[in-house]
Amino acid sequence: MGLLTKLFGTRSEREIKKLQPTVDKILALEEEYKALSEDQLKGKTPLFKERLAQGETLDDILPEAFAAIREAAWRVLGMRPYPVQLIGGIVLHQGRIAEMKTGEGKTLVAILPCYLNALTGRGVHVVTVNDYLAKRDSEWMGKVYRYMGLSIGLVIPGMKAPERRIAYAADITYCTNNELGFDYLRDNMAIYQTELVQRGHAFAIVDEVDSILIDEARTPLIISGKGEDSSKLYEMADYFVSTLRKMVFAKTDEKEIQDDYDCDYIVDEKARSVSLTASGIAKAEKYFGVENLADAENATLSHHINQAMKARGIMKKDIDYVVKDGQIIIVDEFTGRLMYGRRYNEGLHQAIEAKERVDVAGESRTLATITFQNFFRLYDKLSGMTGTALTEEEEFGSIYMLDVVEIPTNKPIARADHPDVVYKTEMG
């Protein structure tokens, strides 16, 4: 394989070679677009829209559209995308993932496919991992889009439905993955069409795509409503579990778990699961006065005990959650931010409240839910950019039908990147 790579280049190098003629066309237009007056350059946007309406495709107008927004970026921001950034822009437009090293200007690269695809009038979503980046990029790059006559929207926490509707109606909308997903769920719960805020899912560019589409792929977004109040049972279950003896395993394959261990329940930290042993079941049946905990009529009791064991055995204070102002606040495992207003589902949040001796809120029931993986597959065209995507290339291909193209740096890398070092123990 090493010899074949030397002879024919890597797959990314071969893909870039195919894109080079298009890049050359864009670069050839540079002097022509430099010579345009301000009105002439701004007039390109309605001209491109008219050509699309007459039957031309986005690929047909790509070289000219990229040349136009490239010149606009220079006039507004003093930045003109380099040839390698043009390659990244084409890759994103094609619905692929561009892997670009940190510092290579991914934010600027995104304006190229954003401008081109916004010309269709169907809307473009630029998805970031937090609201700071969404706000920063929309303000920074928004100057270029507005210069070229396009509208910009920003969706961040705290916005009302009318504001969100206006933001999604814009040609290009910057938002976070969480806000985007929850707005989709709320739209699916709407009774009247006038209550909808989103207008479809045509094209999305996902920043830090490996974090959102791989690391957080199975994270469920949940909108819940009020359910039955069983706070007393949560408190009883927590008190009961606090009297039990537990055994913690860090690895499921470390040893076979048997019921004759000197403990009442097992905590498997790797699988994040808990289970009562035979002695634990016997104690539960005696404490709650039931004949057989496994009976269907005792399913609710069994569930509450199970959640109490998870709260005490798996969920760790100041790591998974914090106690603040008499409330349990979830800590985002990826960003470390406090997730106000979010609650664990299936009664786990109530079990933690009972454990920490704060007021146990009424139980909620799931009204709408979706994972990021399923949500982003709704888009007609999906692309992404990150500094590390090749390591997850197989997952991107099998789950999202996305291939990864490694974009070369504008200048040779002076830094020496050493291979990863893995130690067997903490002491090394």
Same domain assignment for residues 351 and 378 = no
Q: Are strands 97-99 and 404-406 parallel, antiparallel or unpaired?
A: parallel
User: What pLDDT score was predicted for residue 223?
Assistant: 84
SS3 call for 139: helix
Average pLDDT over residues 12-18: 90
Structural domain includes residue 402:
yes
Q: Does one domain contain both 65 and 137?
A: yes
* CATH code (residue 271): 3.90.1440.10
What is the β-pairing status of strands 327-331 and 381-386?
unpaired
Q: Is 190 contained in some domain?
A: yes
Task: List pLDDT tens digits, range 267-316.
Answer: 998 888 899 999 999 999 999 999 999 999 999 999 999 999 999 999 99
59 and 130 fall within a common domain: yes
* Residue-level pLDDT at 258: 46
Same domain, 151 and 191: yes
Over the stretch 219-271, which tens digit does the pLDDT of each residue have? 888 887 766 656 789 999 999 999 999 888 765 444 444 444 679 999 998 88
> What would the two tokens of residue 422 be?
């893995």
Q: Higher pLDDT residue, 415 or 307?
A: 307
Cβ(268)–Cβ(252) below 8 Å:
yes
Which pLDDT score is estimated for 178?
93
Is 419 a domain residue? no
Residues with Cβ within 8 Å of residue 401, at least 6 apart in sequence = none
Q: Mean pLDDT across the chain, nearest whole number?
A: 89
Q: What is the pLDDT of residue 67?
A: 97
- Residue appearing with tokens 């039957």: 55
What is the Cα 305 distance to its own chain's centre?
33
Residue 92, domain CATH: 3.40.50.300
pLDDT at 9: 64
Q: Cβ neighbours of residue 349 under 8 Å, at least 6 residues apart?
A: 328, 343, 361
Asked if residues 217 and 371 have their Cβ atoms less than 8 Å apart, the reply is yes
Question: For residue 203, with 0-12 CB atoms within 10 Å meaning exposed, 13-18 middle and 19 or more buried, which class applies?
Answer: buried
**Residue 353: pLDDT band with limits 50, 70, 90:** very high
Indicate if 276 and 214 belong to the same structural domain. Answer: no
Which residue has better confidence, 64 or 225?
64
pLDDT in tens, 165-202: 999 999 999 999 999 999 999 999 999 999 999 999 99
| Secondary structure of residue 371 in the 3-state scheme | strand
Tell me, yes or no, whether 24 lies in a domain. Answer: yes
| Overall domain count for the chain | 2
Quote the pLDDT of residue 254: 44
Residue 424 lies in a domain: no
386-410 pLDDT, tens digit per residue, is 988 778 888 898 999 999 999 988 8
Q: Mark whether 18 and 147 lie in a shared domain.
A: yes
| Percentage, residues of the chain above pLDDT 70 | 93
Both tokens of residue 172? 């290009």
In a domain, 416, yes or no: no
233 and 215, same structural domain?
Answer: no
402 contact partners, CB below 8 Å, separation of at least 6: 95, 96, 97, 382, 383, 384, 396
Per-residue three-class SS string for 313-355: HCCCECCCEEEECCEEEEECCCCCCEECCCCCCCCHHHHHHHH
Does the pLDDT value for residue 163 go beyond 70? Answer: yes
pLDDT at site 383: 96
**With 50 as the cut, is the pLDDT of residue 49 above it?**
yes
Residue 19 and residue 129 share a domain: yes
Burial of residue 123 (CB within 10 Å: 0-12, 13-18, 19+) is: buried
pLDDT digits (tens, 9 = 90+) for 106-130: 999 999 999 999 999 999 999 999 9
For residue 102, pLDDT over 50 is answered with yes
pLDDT for residue 376 is more than 70: yes
Same domain, 209 and 236: no
**pLDDT given at position 426:** 82
Does some domain include residue 59?
Answer: yes
Residues 49 and 192 grouped into a single domain: yes
Predicted pLDDT of residue 104? 87
- Determine the pLDDT at residue 253: 46
Is the same domain home to 213 and 280?
no
Distance between CA atoms of 279 and 291, rounded to whole angstroms? 14
- Report yes or no on whether pTM surpasses 0.75: no
How far is Cα 249 from Cα 415, in angstroms, rounded to an integer? Answer: 42
The domain of 196 spans 8-221+372-406
The average pLDDT across 29-41 equals 96
**31 and 151 inside one domain:** yes
In a domain, 281, yes or no: yes
Using pLDDT thresholds of 50, 70 and 90, give the confidence band for residue 3: very low
The residue-averaged pLDDT of 72-100 equals 95
In this model, does residue 4 exceed pLDDT 60? Answer: no
